[in-house]
Structure 1
Amino acid sequence: MLAKRRGSKLSDEIYGVVLADIIQGRYPEGAKLPTESILAESFAVSRPVVREALARLRDDGLIQPRRGAGSFVLKRPAHALLRFTPIGSIADIQRCFEFRLALEPAAAGLAATRRDETMLKKISDSLSSLREAIETGTVNVEADFAFHKAVADSSGNAYFSTALHSLEQSLTTAMLLNRQLSLQNPSQRLHLVQTEHQLIYEAIVSGDGEAAHAAMFKHIQDARRRVFDGQGNS
């Protein structure tokens, strides 16, 4: 029977267990997962709960359902993922990414039409700090959060700023995880992230709300995907 953590959903617990099994190689790439019925029986939960957990793994690009055949593993994330964060936290991190996708692109779009020189300087300063971190091979989560907070502040709508501030702990946890994982990979990955930030900034500077919205959406979507990048044997 599954031991449920306080405040967590059963589907998140199952998500974490199956994810850990994939990372550790119990289910290698191409392997078929147990059926919903078998998983439901082994975890002592209903099939809809299992179905929700599998849907999240599918949305994260880790498994692929095949009609009439079951679900198969598409990608095995790097084992380093388990070193940098408790497996039970990953579902929360992914939920935070989902919320950010609804929040931050809209803030960036407004920022492009409402920004002023003071706010542009704050965004630019945080970009410079992130660039220095890449050059020195360090993790600067504070500058990363400062960039996103400055964009939200530039929207001219206090609700965006308040919402982002309330997410600070969750955001910085996800940012730290992503940057730690990036340091395990070639430096091109960190430079890619910096380019994404730069494109957001340039769209805001140019006053192009649509481009700013699209650039922020792509950045967060790619950040979510990067959590599961890497080879399982690394």
Structure 2
Amino acid sequence: MKVVVIGGTGLIGSKVVAGLGEHGHEAVAAAPDTGVNTLTGEGLAEVLKDASVVVDVSNSPSFEDEAVMEFFRTSTTNLLKAEAEAGVTHHVALSVVGTERLQASGYFRAKQVQEDLIKGAGIPCSIVHATQFFEFVKGIADSATEGGTVRLAPAKIQPIASDDVAAAVGRTAVDARVGGVVEVAGPEAFRLDDLIREALAAENDPRTVITDPEALYWGAALQETTLLPGPDAQLAGKRFADWLAQRKLALRPASSRRDRGDAAT
């Protein structure tokens, strides 16, 4: 089966390509640096030739309201048109848990437009809603930083490792059951402010996290459960503390790992 992965050289896309390849599928990474540009349409017809499935895990390079809307509207429209012409039989998109509850945010309004375009295109489709990635925790902190403080609401969040997101996207892409929304989340819930405190402490980041129920999340107000998945979500296995430990080990100089006996001999 040929699967074209739009955004296939990024954090999630590269993992999806690798995972599908390990399971015997022809997985093709499509991105501007491989000659495929969904905003202009460049390379789409060529890369989609003989493709059965398209997986879209691309993301806007800008989170500014107008720019992100333009990205998702234009790229999704171009991609769906090219898929219809190529005879693609399954479109899979990665989106975010809580998108429909975060419409005060320009980013999530754009993601909703993307989902609506996909559902209305007439191509069999599946949408994977993931909670925020462990790898994106610093981005959340940066977005909420004013000076030396980070203001965050005490809403609950259930983050997930990017490896687990990629695995879920890959499973969905080749699953015989096509259609609907699949939710995936990490195994444990945190308060958002506590999660960021833990993450910053692990990085020896001196910023102070202030709990503020009125603090906005990418421009949207949060209720306690806004960011949580539903009861039928698929739960991944990797815990945040384990991911932090692995990250610290990976960033440690190789000589230090050998001295501690952490490296393979």
| TM-score after normalising by structure 2 | 0.27
| TM-score after normalising by structure 1 | 0.30
Q: Which has the higher helix share?
A: 1
Q: Which has the higher strand share?
A: 2
Task: Determine which structure has greater relative contact order: mean sequence separation of CA pairs < 8 Å that are 6+ residues apart, divided by chain length.
Answer: 1
